[in-house]
Structure 1
Amino acid sequence: MSTPVVFIHGLWLLESSWDRWAELFAEHGYEPVQPGWPDDPETVEEANAHPEVFAGKTVGQVADHFAEVIAGLPEKPVLVGHSFGGLLAQILAGRGLAAATVALSPAPFRGVLPLPISALRSASPVLSNPLNRSRAVPLTYDQFRYAFANAVAPEEAKALYETYAVPAPGAPLFQAATANLNPWTEVKVDTDNPDRGPLLIISGEKDHTVPPALSKAAYKQQQDNPGQTELVSVARGHALTIDSGWREVAETALAFVERVTAAASQPAG
């Protein structure tokens, strides 16, 4: 039976952003699963025509949605998440639901303390207006260029924006922004659970939205876990899962998954 791999997208993208990754993992014998967030439209065109469907979703609601998806699988899956999807993957792994996890440029959780200027600027289209907490917020091309596509040429940035960008719920960004002030936040990860499984964090060296300081701080929080914990840096921006360098990043993730799943299948002793 093929090991399932659940791909979890972040804000401003849909599950279709993982299509090439899913194909690559399938070629290597894994069973890709691309559930999307609750009520996600099927296409970018539909999403941009009906942005209201994204409004109001919280980190806790989305995490529970993915936990239900995982409960319906025949075995513990590998989780691969990007940005807020990387945060969600770590939350789910902290619940003991993952065989292994790859978190790419993961959004910060409670205990991750740095506040890089570029991260604040990337989040400002949402956080600049408190009313956005209950809204769906699209990015302009210039905002997408700064937050996602700063590490690619303008022509590629424009193509990425037109191909992938959709509105996103504002609530998760407000939750993340206040996580270290709110002891009851949903934006928290059980980094000590011995059933967390192996974890790889992939950091984008040129990432404005989740700069390396945030990925390194998440790695530091996770290091005390008895499970294998690794950090790898790649010379990409926040669009590292969808831009022209996606394959190198995906192969880095795949190599980790193959290594740790092979080790787990070896007989004890």
Structure 2
Amino acid sequence: MSEHLSIGAVSTRSASRLITLSMARLAVLIHGMWGTSAVWHHWRPFLEGRGWHTIAHSLRHHDVPPDAPPEALGETSLLDYVADLERTIVALPEKPVVIGHSMGGLLALLLCAKGLARAGVLLTPAPPASVLAIRPSNLLAFARIQARWGWWRKPHRATLGEALSYTFNTADRAMGVKEHSAFVHESGRALLEIALPWFDRVKAATVDPRCVTVPLLFVAAERDRLVPPDVVRRTAKRFDHVSDYVEFDGQGHWVLGQPGWERAAEHAEAWLTGKVL
């Protein structure tokens, strides 16, 4: 979304103020595992309808057909994603807020720890290394992927059955099938860094809470089978000096588009308005 200003019709001081106001609602949206920028097709028009400027890029090696993963994707690190996002953010006229879903929520947290955002909304976020996330449901969700030798350096993609059971478990099947058809492959290295951080030598998923000084909103979903609400709650507690926590009943992991997604979007937008404007 953009504003068109007639600078000649106002004073320099007024024009400057208008430009500042037009850029105040600037949000960078970060997708999660297997996604692309297209996953924000509900949230972007929602936010833009409320005056936000949104930027959503596909992560490195994700802007490709679902059946053609680049070989380099398998060894792409969370830190590579963060570096790319940092380059986008530093080129902006001011610090944005960051909104991330799932793995994108962890990336948003890492960006906040680097001082690159005014606030962060973390939607059903993958946890940092300090929070143990292993639960029976997410073990089952990744069991097939992690049964392959060398999975930690190879691209992977959820099957339709896995996606319907774990990502879209509170959505209707038709919606799940449509969303899954756009899934691309994800990095095995990034999965290792999130799921088994003790095996990661560079500690890519490590976040020092003392480095985060901006407001954070942690959004959990009662029926989330990938990042169960107790995991999100424990992560929020690690950052309780800056965090707020909300949990939505009856919702699953796909707060981006399942029935009821508007509740999460409305809460997040109202929280951001109250924190940064």
The structural deviation recorded for 1:85 is: 0.1
Q: Which amino acid aligns with 1:21?
A: W
Q: Which residue does 1:155 correspond to in 2?
A: 174
Q: Which residue does 1:266 correspond to in 2?
A: none
The structural deviation recorded for 1:240 is: 1.4
Q: Which residue does 1:104 correspond to in 2?
A: 123
The structural deviation recorded for 1:173 is: 1.1
The structural deviation recorded for 1:114 is: 4.3
Q: Which amino acid aligns with 2:252?
A: G
Between the aligned partners of 1:40 and 1:173, the Cα distance in structure 2 is 15
TM-score of the aligned structures, taking structure 2 as reference length: 0.85
Describe the shift of the 1:58–1:86 C-alpha distance in structure 2 as closer, same or farther (beyond 3 A): same
Q: Which residue does 1:6 correspond to in 2?
A: 28
Q: Which amino acid aligns with 2:60?
A: P
Describe the shift of the 1:11–1:182 C-alpha distance in structure 2 as closer, same or farther (beyond 3 A): closer
The structural deviation recorded for 1:112 is: 0.3
Q: Which residue does 2:44 correspond to in 1?
A: 22
Between the aligned partners of 1:150 and 1:57, the Cα distance in structure 2 is 28
Q: Which residue does 2:221 correspond to in 1?
A: 204
Partners of 1:91 and 1:190 within 8 A in 2? no
Partners of 2:236 and 2:244 within 8 A in 1? yes
Percent identity among equivalent residues? 25
Q: Which residue does 1:231 correspond to in 2?
A: 245
Mapping 1:1-269, distance limit 5 Å? 1-2=22-23, 3-41=25-63, 46-52=64-70, 54-162=73-181, 164-180=182-198, 182=200, 184-193=202-211, 196-223=213-240, 225=241, 227=242, 229-234=243-248, 235-262=250-277
Describe the shift of the 1:114–1:148 C-alpha distance in structure 2 as closer, same or farther (beyond 3 A): closer
Q: Which residue does 2:8 correspond to in 1?
A: none
The structural deviation recorded for 1:183 is: 6.8
Partners of 2:61 and 2:70 within 8 A in 1? no
Describe the shift of the 1:181–1:137 C-alpha distance in structure 2 as closer, same or farther (beyond 3 A): closer
Q: Which amino acid aligns with 1:259?
A: G
The 3-state SS of whatever aligns with 2:190 is helix
Between the aligned partners of 1:130 and 1:191, the Cα distance in structure 2 is 34
Partners of 2:192 and 2:200 within 8 A in 1? no
Q: Is there any run of 5+ residues in structure 1 with no aligned partner, and where? A: 263-269
Query: Greater Rg, structure 1 or structure 2?
Result: 2
- RMSD of aligned alpha carbons: 1.8
The 3-state SS of whatever aligns with 1:122 is helix
Partners of 1:113 and 1:217 within 8 A in 2? no
The 3-state SS of whatever aligns with 2:247 is strand
Q: Which amino acid aligns with 2:28?
A: V
The structural deviation recorded for 1:198 is: 0.6
**CA offsets, 1:177-217, max 9 Å, x none?**
222455741111121125x3110000011111101121011
Between the aligned partners of 1:239 and 1:47, the Cα distance in structure 2 is 22
Describe the shift of the 1:49–1:177 C-alpha distance in structure 2 as closer, same or farther (beyond 3 A): closer
Between the aligned partners of 1:190 and 1:6, the Cα distance in structure 2 is 22
The structural deviation recorded for 1:120 is: 1.4
Partners of 2:192 and 2:199 within 8 A in 1? no
